[in-house]
């Protein structure tokens, strides 16, 4: 699924025209990736792709012409707002807000990028103007030589000491959560662009558009609802109270996305306040436990907008305000030496224990929704080069490395060139990198790396993708706890166990608070003797063959019973094998 719903906002509107012409009404999940999956199916259909291509190139050409003719940004925005509202892509309020939020960034991109309508539309509409996606270039990146001879991944049966680490990700607090509002919402007038539920919208007073054609109404619960909703503030507090009272950790990692999914209402001041507030709360519940954070894509304003220093107008359009906020918010548990790296690229390296380096990596520089990446994709702000240097320095002294970040490099959300080169770094430093923690998808799953990207060959590393604290979308809140071999002379710092805790949010009421419980332990649930990459490779094979075991996995994936047909199963298995984006044929051709 290629996510370009923001990057190609104009193109989406034009495709909507095509939907309208065919009088097609589809209920699409509000998550942008689900939206773009539906749009891609439409645009790649032989019956409709021609119309979609013509509509897309026509609208993009119109906007580029308006820019060349000196039209003001406000005039272009008014054109887009009217189109959005007339075609009922969303409620009038959301149309107005989302265009104002993203149009300036998109207009800036079209003004500075040397790109044609055919190239823009061809990036995600099959056979539309160009034979290859111009944004899928693999840019050159030098990998250090001198790789040590590969050794078997360490297996520790009787560790002298263990580290216990809490992983929180995708918290997504909705401070406008409204108890009793529609949880099972959907704007089915047309393509359901960005349905976000469990809150009251200004347009709801005029027309109950978010329950149109729905068979039933689901009132938003007091503590949350496993639909297209984020969690209320009280649920976050409840989770922190439970965790802090019932467990002890050596340190905590938080891998981004604190904001709610109302992307049309983001402001810099709101985001800064939210980052400082949530960090302060975390610090108050864990006053003596180090907390290490990484940025999520929802911290950008607009979403994912984190341009490198090389972009034009960096002083006014760049994310310096955000990186400065991170530096201030995160400083309690970080040495002063990390401040410059955070302020420059929102990345840093720290040594929690002797023999271990923890790297917080900004993967928004690989985001397909980060428009600024398209002006120059080559290693934004030298972040992969910085990572390579950190890994090489650790290798030279025998130090092990854990990487924490937000976007999994195997997700289509991550641009092909960046993902390709990150994969190469993981291969090169397979003896140094012991653990990679990620979030973003909101699901509980993993991705495996293979030597030479050969799924028949040796598995060398795993992306651990943790479940979200938010319920968005269609999941129960959860958090992850890892046990590592560590903090003694000769520690391997490998994962020994992974525990997932969750709450069945629909059982909680105003009088009965959420009950948090252990959902499963990884080794026990999947009958694994260890958590090495090779064991994950074997697990993939078991999940392909054992339908009962796969159903267990898919229940854990959402933290609730959810159906998954054969096509769904193939997609899920494919994700497990693909730690590199936009290479489905290579990694999944044997499915």
Q: Quick one: pLDDT at residue 40?
A: 46
Q: Quick one: pLDDT at residue 8?
A: 41
78: exposed, middle or buried (C-beta count within 10 Å: 0-12, 13-18, 19+)? middle
Q: What are phi and psi of 77, to 5 degrees?
A: -60, -45
Q: Quick one: pLDDT at residue 107?
A: 79
67 and 167 assigned to the same domain: no
Instruction: State the Cα–Cα distance between residues 429 and 423, nearest whole angstrom.
Output: 10
70 and 169 assigned to the same domain: no
Q: Quick one: pLDDT at residue 211?
A: 52
Whole-Å CA distances, 142 to 139, 388, 421, 495? 10, 9, 9, 30
Q: Quick one: pLDDT at residue 62?
A: 77
Instruction: State the Cα–Cα distance between residues 141 and 147, nearest whole angstrom.
Output: 16
166 and 85 assigned to the same domain: no
Residue 450 lies in a domain: yes
265 and 379 assigned to the same domain: yes
Show the domain range for 371: 162-174+230-588
- Whether the ω angle into residue 302 lies within 30 degrees of 0, i.e. cis, is yes
Residue 82 lies in a domain: yes
Residue 268 lies in a domain: yes
78 and 170 assigned to the same domain: no
Residue 236 lies in a domain: yes
List the structure tokens of 370: 């980060």
109 and 166 assigned to the same domain: no
- Three-state secondary-structure class, residue 45: coil
For 126, residues 6+ apart whose C-beta sits below 8 A from its C-beta are 43, 44, 49
Helix (H) or strand (E) holding 10: helix 9-21
Residue 134 lies in a domain: no
| Nearest one of 64, 7, 61 to 36, comparing CA atoms | 7
- Three-state secondary-structure class, residue 92: helix
527 and 394 assigned to the same domain: yes
Helix (H) or strand (E) holding 11: helix 9-21
Q: List pLDDT tens digits, range 530-560.
A: 999 999 999 999 999 999 999 999 999 999 9
Domain count, the chain: 2
Residue stretches of the annotated binding site for Zn(2+): 170, 172, 257, 297, 406, 440, 442
Instruction: State the Cα–Cα distance between residues 322 and 268, nearest whole angstrom.
Output: 8
Q: Quick one: pLDDT at residue 75?
A: 85
List the structure tokens of 136: 């899928």
List the structure tokens of 581: 């984006």
Beta bridge partners, 438, equal 465
Residue 170 lies in a domain: yes
User: What CATH number is attached to the domain comprising 527?
Assistant: 3.60.21.10
Q: Quick one: pLDDT at residue 435?
A: 99
Q: List pLDDT tens digits, range 261-274.
A: 999 999 999 999 99
236 and 96 assigned to the same domain: no
Residues in the chain: 591
117 and 166 assigned to the same domain: no
519 and 467 assigned to the same domain: yes
| Ranges of the chain with pLDDT below 70 | 1-52, 123-126, 129-135, 187-194, 203-216, 590-591
274 and 409 assigned to the same domain: yes
Rounded to the nearest 5 degrees, what angle is found at the Cα of 370, between the Cα atoms of 408 and 25?
A: 85
| Nearest one of 365, 230, 373, 375 to 296, comparing CA atoms | 365
| Nearest one of 96, 35, 473 to 264, comparing CA atoms | 96
Contact status, residue 366 vs residue 415, Cβ threshold 8 Å: yes
Residue stretches of the annotated binding site: 170, 172, 257, 297, 406, 440, 442
Beta bridge partners, 273, equal none
81 and 170 assigned to the same domain: no
Q: Quick one: pLDDT at residue 46?
A: 56
- Three-state secondary-structure class, residue 273: helix
| Nearest one of 224, 194, 226, 222 to 210, comparing CA atoms | 194
Residue 207 lies in a domain: no
């Amino acid at each position: 699924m290629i996510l370009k719903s923001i990057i190609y906002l104009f193109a989406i509107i034009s495709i909507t025209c095509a939907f309208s012409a065919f009088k097609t009404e589809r209920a699409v999940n509000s998550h942008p990736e689900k939206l773009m999956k539906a749009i891609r199916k439409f645009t790649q259909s032989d019956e409709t792709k021609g119309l979609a291509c013509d509509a897309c190139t026509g609208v993009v050409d119109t906007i580029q012409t308006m820019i060349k003719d000196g039209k003001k940004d406000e005039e272009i925005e008014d054109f887009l707002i009217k189109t959005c509202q007339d075609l009922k892509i969303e409620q009038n309020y959301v149309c107005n807000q989302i265009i104002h939020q993203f149009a300036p960034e998109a207009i800036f991109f079209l003004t500075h990028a040397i790109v044609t309508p055919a190239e823009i539309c061809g990036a995600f509409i099959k056979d539309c103007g160009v034979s290859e996606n111009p944004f899928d270039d693999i840019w050159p990146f030098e990998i250090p030589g001198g790789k040590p001879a590969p050794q078997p991944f360490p297996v520790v049966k009787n560790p002298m000491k263990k580290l216990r680490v809490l992983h929180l990700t995708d918290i997504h607090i909705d401070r406008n959560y409204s108890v009793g509002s529609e949880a099972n919402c959907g704007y089915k007038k047309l393509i359901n662009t960005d349905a976000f539920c469990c809150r009251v919208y200004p347009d709801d007073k005029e027309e109950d558009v978010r329950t149109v054609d729905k068979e039933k109404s689901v009132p938003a619960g007091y503590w949350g609802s496993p639909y297209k909703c984020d969690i209320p503030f009280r649920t976050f507090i409840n989770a922190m109270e439970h965790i802090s009272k019932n467990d002890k950790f050596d340190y905590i990692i938080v891998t981004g996305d604190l904001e709610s999914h109302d992307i049309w209402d983001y402001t810099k001041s709101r985001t800064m306040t939210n980052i400082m507030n949530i960090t302060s709360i975390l610090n108050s519940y864990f006053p003596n436990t180090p907390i290490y954070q990484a940025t999520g894509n929802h911290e950008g304003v607009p979403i994912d907008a984190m341009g490198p220093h090389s972009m034009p107008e960096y002083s006014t359009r760049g994310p310096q305000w955000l990186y400065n906020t991170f530096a201030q918010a995160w400083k309690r548990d970080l040495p002063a030496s990390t401040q410059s790296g955070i302020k420059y690229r929102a990345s840093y390296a720290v040594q929690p224990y002797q023999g271990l380096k923890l790297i917080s990596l900004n993967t928004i520089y690989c985001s397909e929704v980060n428009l600024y990446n398209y002006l120059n994709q080559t290693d934004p702000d030298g972040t992969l080069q910085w990572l390579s240097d950190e890994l090489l320095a650790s290798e030279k002294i025998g130090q092990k490395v854990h990487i924490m970040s937000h976007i999994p490099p195997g997700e289509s959300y991550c641009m092909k060139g960046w993902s390709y080169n990150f994969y190469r770094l993981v291969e090169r430093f397979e003896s140094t990198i012991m653990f990679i923690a990620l979030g973003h998808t909101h699901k509980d799953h993993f991705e495996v790396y293979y030597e030479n990207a050969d799924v028949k060959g040796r598995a060398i590393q795993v992306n651990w993708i943790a479940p979200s604290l938010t319920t968005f979308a269609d999941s129960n809140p959860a958090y992850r706890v890892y046990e590592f071999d560590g903090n003694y002379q000769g520690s391997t710092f490998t994962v020994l166990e992974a525990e997932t805790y969750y709450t069945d949010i629909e059982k909680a009421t105003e009088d009965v608070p959420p009950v948090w419980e252990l959902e499963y332990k990884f080794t026990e649930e999947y009958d694994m003797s260890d958590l090495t990459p090779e064991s994950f490779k074997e697990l993939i094979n078991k999940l392909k063959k054992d339908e009962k075991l796969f159903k267990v996995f898919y229940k854990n994936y959402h933290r609730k019973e959810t159906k998954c047909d054969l096509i769904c199963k193939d997609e899920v298995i494919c994700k497990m094998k693909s730690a590199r984006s936009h290479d489905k044929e290579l990694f999944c051709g044997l499915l």
